[in-house]
With several copies, the nearest count.
Chain A
Amino acid sequence: MIIIITEDTNLGAKSREDGRAFDELRPLKIEAGVLERADGSAYLEFGGNKILVAVYGPKESHIRRFQRPDRAYIRCRYNMAPFSVDDRKRPGPDRRSMEISKVTAEALQPSILLEKYPRALIDIFIEVLEAEGGTRCAGITAASVALADAGIPMKDMVVACASGKVNDQIVLDLSEVEDKEGQADLPVAIMPRSGEITLLQSDGSLNAGEFEKAVDLAVEGCQAISKVQQDALKKRYGE
């Protein structure tokens, strides 16, 4: 069992269990081009999350289901390693990973110029090597970098971040503990140039005012993370 001692004297902006301000992100690190075989790849550490993404394509597919006459098809697979969570996870897809794969593909799709590659398949493989809250957002953020690393033409680089409600406060980027014990979790992905929202889910209880505040906060978080994405690509490819 994990026993977490919270001091009563923590007040105001520093009231979170790990001492972060309400609008403070966990430490974030992104590296592009980390795999040999994949056409593009990225590795991301975000708090205790460790995520690896590989992209293959655009490539020919022999499978009818993965063909569209007028554009490329995105197949996305979000997967957790058996050792990524406290209790060993059985290998293979489950209902949660199926849903995350679907919304992740939908979150990334608006940014990709799919119509350039009719009938082609683009594979996005997201591996959660270690999970500590917020893996779906971290996966989307890393996937965009891997897509760019693969040279897939994009309008913008989608970026994701969650906000939520913990101890009656709207906070940014929930940790695993905050996610479990909090009152709401709201993952958001945006295209940072237009600010448009490509992923939005909500789980928990928020009134309209709190909801709006949470969306705003998550979008701010996304904008901050977007810079780290760009730095990762600059580091690999130069300015």
Chain B
Amino acid sequence: MNVVPEITRKSITDLINNLERPDSRALDEYREISLETGVISKAEGSARVKIGSSQIIVGTKSQLGSPFPDTPNVGVIMTNSELLPMAAPEFEPGPPDEKSVELARVTDRCIRESQMVDLEKLCLVEGKKVWMIFIDLHILDYDGNLMDAAVLGAVAALLNTRIPKATMVDDEIVIDYENKEPLPIREKALMCTFAKIGEQMVLDPSLAEEEILSARLSIGMTESGNICALQKGGATPLTKEEIMNAVKITEEKTKELMEYLP
């Protein structure tokens, strides 16, 4: 738990109330974003994403497994996140805490509910064998707004993923590692996160902003403008107007973000 000095809190808040930000960005402007894919050869898909100095490596791995009993004909996506102790002085080694779990689950919902991956195509034998795609978020450097970076990185890694071709030959599953195929991808989705500070909502909060935010709003949106995931955080309420305004900005900004995808 970081205690931010009152004077810092006040000076940032005053800036933002005047529609300015510590790093001179516009309120609805992202920091510099960089995205590379295919950075880990042993992963089946991978991406390194940076938003400002926040840095995440995302790797995917496929594995044959059993479907969930209530959805016997669809593949499974499992998203896991590690807020590595390397990423910030306040992170400690140990099992995922609730911050880490929230990050993984919101990323997972954004991908799952956008129906970006056609999970039915990942079913080999109904009720028996489906592909399980593991998405591992490895948080290396924490400089604010992990949510948007995580979703951007995860989507890029999925686009980059190649899984072995699996076919049924005489009741046996043959997995052909020589022939790898991309995942069946449909409409993509990304996420925009806002922080409420003072009277304003700012897009893509930096670490300094995140430490003093009173509320957080993350909106996942598909290319066609559907909200596929949304998560409010923080200990202060938001008005409906603030939320609807953020939705409007997200419509525009997701388009911008999509251009970073491979």
Contact = CB atoms under 8 A, between A and B. Distances in A.
Find out whether A and B make contact in their complex, taking CB atoms under 8 A apart as touching.
yes
B89 interface: yes
Contacts of A207: 225-227
Interface in A9-52: 35-38, 41, 48, 50, 52
Contacts of B101: 95, 98-99, 102
Interface stretch (A134-142, A189-197, A226-234): A189-197
A77 B177 contact: no
Contacts of B41: 48, 130
Interface string A76-102: 010101111111100111011011011
A199 interface: yes
A127 B114 contact: no
A53 B113 CA distance: 31
Contact of A129 (B114, B138, B226): B138
Contact of B109 (A79, A203, A206): A203
Contacts of B236: 110
A202 interface: yes
Interface stretch (B13-21, B139-147, B254-262): B139-147
Main secondary structure on A side of the interface with B = mixed
Given A83-B40, A98-B98, A88 B63 contact: yes
Given A198-B237, A200-B230, A205 B136 contact: no
Given A59-B89, A95-B101, A197-B240, A208 B247 contact: yes
Contacts of B134: 82, 88
Interface in A173-212: 180, 184, 186, 190-191, 194-208, 211-212
Contacts of B82: 91
Given A125-B84, A196-B239, A197-B238, A37 B63 contact: no
B217 interface: yes
B234 A106 contact: yes
Given A109-B235, A197-B237, A202-B230, A37 B143 contact: yes
Nearest to A36: B53
A1 interface: yes
Nearest to B247: A208
B226 A82 contact: no
Contacts of B240: 195, 197, 212, 215-216, 219
Contact of A110 (B85, B95, B235): B235
Contacts of A149: none
Contacts of B46: 83
A69 interface: yes
A106 B234 CA distance: 6
Interface in A132-172: 132
A132 to B, nearest CB: 8
Interface residues of A, number: 71
A84 B42 contact: yes
A131 interface: yes
- Most chain A CB within 10 A, of B96, B142, B232, is at B232
B59 A81 contact: yes
B209 to A, nearest CB: 15
- Most chain A CB within 10 A, of B43, B63, B244, is at B43
A168 to B, nearest CB: 13
B233 A54 contact: no
Given A82-B59, A99-B102, A208-B251, A1 B40 contact: no
A83 B60 contact: yes
A77 B93 contact: yes
Contact of A99 (B61, B105, B217, B230): B105
B193 interface: no
B89 A85 contact: no
A48 B84 CA distance: 22
B185 interface: no
Interface of A: 1, 35-38, 41, 48, 50, 52-54, 56, 59, 65, 68-69, 77, 79, 81-88, 91-93, 95-96, 98-99, 101-103, 106, 109-110, 123, 125, 127, 129-132, 180, 184, 186, 190-191, 194-208, 211-212, 215-216, 219
Given A87-B61, A106-B235, A123-B85, 7 more contacts: A35-B86, A37-B141, A48-B41, A69-B3, A99-B102, A196-B237, A205-B113
14 contacts: A48-B42, A54-B86, A68-B1, A83-B61, A91-B80, A99-B102, A103-B231, A106-B232, A127-B140, A129-B40, A180-B70, A196-B237, A196-B238, A212-B244
